[in-house]
Amino acid sequence: MMAFFASIEQNPIGTWVRESPSLLAFPFILFLHTLGLAMLAGLNIGLDAWLLGRRKLPPFELANIYRVMWVGFGINALSGVVLLAAYPAKALTNWVFFAKLLCIVVALWVLQRLKGELAIAAGAAERDVSAHARRLAFASLLLWTATIFAGRLLAYTHHILLVSEGLS
Amino acid sequence: MDAFIDWIYTTRLSSFVNDYRWVWPICESLHFCALTVLAGTVGLFDLRVLGLVKGIAPGALHATLRWGVVAFVVSAITGVMFISGASEQYFYNDAFRLKVVFLVLMGANAALFYWREFAGIRALGPRDDAPRSAKLIAAASLVFLVGVMLCGRMLTFFRPPFFHGP
């Protein structure tokens, strides 16, 4: 397994991200990861907060909000893969990383379920916020909080940084 | 400046941040959570004012900004904790200075919005378009927010060379 991580570490993109002194390498990719988080998790939390603060849902158009969130997810996924290519062992030998991935997958599933609940409200009249929609919004808040904690704590809980250079 | 930094390191807050290994990571996590909530609630409102989200009256969406205010307070508290724990990292750092500039611009932009635009925006219906001046302020708000995030992320890469902290 370590030989596999070492081979990934030597890929040109990962090496560039890790070793380039350019601000467009590791620093900018980290920024993109944060920007994607704000677009996806931020807007999802904004929707959750809005929904939890209401008794009635008005008919409204979701398409553009979801479009922005999916662009955020795309930015996050791409920047995440590049960061993983730079430090594969750091993430893949740490259970916190897998906990983060699990939280993201479940949060995205909840986001889609929430879309179903909100889309029902896109009829002609206002309708009550269902207990199910509230539960989904609350679960979404917890899942994104757990994702963010896991993401930050990755930097403090890894056992291996780089396999190929024997650093740990 | 050095004397001020020395004084910060004598405070109980500074000792609290530096004496317990878990304080810094927990504060970082809370800082990121708060940033995400702030970006999401302010961003959602800005998108409505810009016209990308329709069907919700801006006045109804405005209530979610209370969460943004709480998030800003959490950001500020954890930010002060970072500064008390590793002052040189911030006071001798161009990215931090620029981040503060963006924060001030965000605040001024929000003040301008409430002074000039809020009354009109609050009266808008679910499908009404905001005036161009309000859209400009909303767009500026998003730009400043991204500026804060960019500078915050760049902070560790602009640390002074003599700094060896967390």
Walking along chain B (166 residues) 10 residues at a time, the average pLDDT comes out as 90 96 96 97 96 88 94 97 94 96 98 96 92 97 98 92 67
Distance (Å) from the C-alpha of residue B125 to the closest C-alpha of chain A?
11
Name residue B45's amino acid: F
Q: How many CB pairs under 8 A join A and B?
A: 113
* pTM of the complete model: 0.93
A125 near B CB under 8 A: no
**A113/B contact by beta carbon, under 8 A:** no
pLDDT in tens, B66-87: 999 999 999 999 999 999 999 9
What pLDDT was estimated at residue B127? 87
φ, ψ of residue A66 to 5 degrees: the values are: -65, -35
Domain layout of chain A by residue ranges: 2-165
User: Residues of B with CB below 8 A from A96's CB?
Assistant: none
**Can you give the pLDDT at residue A120?**
65
Residue A168: pLDDT band (50, 70, 90) is very low
Q: What pLDDT does B159 receive?
A: 87
- CA B36/CA B53 separation, integer angstroms: 19
The B residues from 62 to 81 touching A (CB cutoff 8 Å) are 63-64, 67
Q: Which residues contact B80 (CB under 8 A, 6 or more apart)?
A: B13
| Cβ atoms < 10 Å from Cβ of A106 | 16
* A119 or A19, higher pLDDT: A19
At A31 the three-state DSSP class reads helix
Q: Is the pLDDT assigned to residue A125 strictly greater than 80?
A: no
Distance CA A48, CA B82 (A): 29
The whole-angstrom distance between residue B118's C-alpha and the CA centroid of its chain comes to 21
Residues A35-77: pLDDT tens digits? 999 999 999 999 999 999 988 887 777 888 999 999 999 999 9
**B134-151 pLDDT, tens per residue?**
999 999 999 999 999 999
pLDDT at A167 over 50: no
Angle A63-86/B23-50 helices, nearest 10 degrees? Answer: 150
Q: How many CB atoms lie within 10 A of CB A4?
A: 12
Is A151's CB within 8 Å of B32's CB? yes
Q: pLDDT value at position A84?
A: 95
Query: What was the ipTM of the complex prediction?
Result: 0.92
